[in-house]
Structure formats: structure tokens, C-alpha cells
Amino acid sequence: MTDSAFELALAVAALGYGLSVLLIGWRGLIGPNSLDRLVALDALVSIVQGGLAVYMVWTADTSVAYAMVAVALLGYLSSVSVARFRTPDARRPSPTADGAVPAGTGGAGAGGTVPGGTGGAGAARPAKAARTLESDEADRTGLWQQDSGVRMPTKDDVRKDERQ
């Protein structure tokens, strides 16, 4: 491969990385939920690593390899920590074609009412109760128990064992 073809290939790669940074940055900014933003952050870390690799090849400077290792480590640790402590996003109701919020989706928050919907024109209906961490945990445990057929001990079972 000639030098000019090599330079052109590296320029195209750098241009591709620059465009992908813009697209991933846009996804990170407007992502509909925090999981989309987390995926955009992971992709951005990968793009930065690839960009550093292109720079290292272009300049024949291997000292950038240390920065690549640091970026990889920070990207991994940030993804794991965000995934570990991420809380579920609030669910937003999707309006129907006529602009009304569907019944049972809770458009006004806990305990409120939402006019319209499927309860008749202008009828008020109660909104869904707010979900809590305990109810989400109970849902996950219940689903796991149904799938595996194994019953997990509950807090009451543990208390009974402590009393005996």
C-alpha cells in the first residue's frame, strides 16, 4: 500500500470516528431513558479507544497505548457502577391518536386523575399508584420463582428461623 493510500484510509477512518462521535453524542443527549444514555456512553468509550488507535497508527506514537488502557478501564468501571445503581425510569403514558391518555396508564401521578381516556368523554379516572422499590423487587422475585419453580425464602421465613 502506498503512503498516499495509507493516509487516505486513515483520514477516512478518522472522519468516520468523528461522525460517529456526533451521532452517539446526539443519542446520549436526547435518549428517551437512562439506559439509552448508558449505551451511548459505552459506545462513546469504544469510539474514543478506536480514535486513539487511529491516532497511534497515524503518528507512530505508541505512548497513547497507556491512555487507551486507562480509557478502557474507566469505561468498564463506569458502566458497571451505573448499571449496578441504576433505578428504573418513570413510565410515561403514550397518548392515543385523539390525544387522550389510555386507561390504566396513570398520566397524572400517584393518586391523581386524568381527564379523558377510555372512561367516556371527559370522565376522570384514578391514576395508577406509584411503583416502589419493594414492589419492583417483589415482581422480580415472583417472576424468578415462577420461571424456576424454586421458592425463595421471604422475610417472614427468615424471621421464623430467627425465632426458633
Give mean pLDDT in consecutive 10-residue pieces for the chain, a chain of 164 residues.
86 91 91 84 91 89 92 89 77 63 51 46 50 54 52 71 71
Q: What is the pLDDT of residues 105-145, one digit of tens each?
A: 544 444 444 444 444 444 454 455 555 555 555 555 554 44
Using only the alpha carbons of the chain, give its radius of gyration: 26
Hey, how many other C-beta atoms are within 10 angstroms of the C-beta on 114?
Answer: 22
| CA atoms in the 13 A half-sphere facing the CB of 105 | 17
Of 113, 114, 155, the closest CA to residue 134 belongs to 155
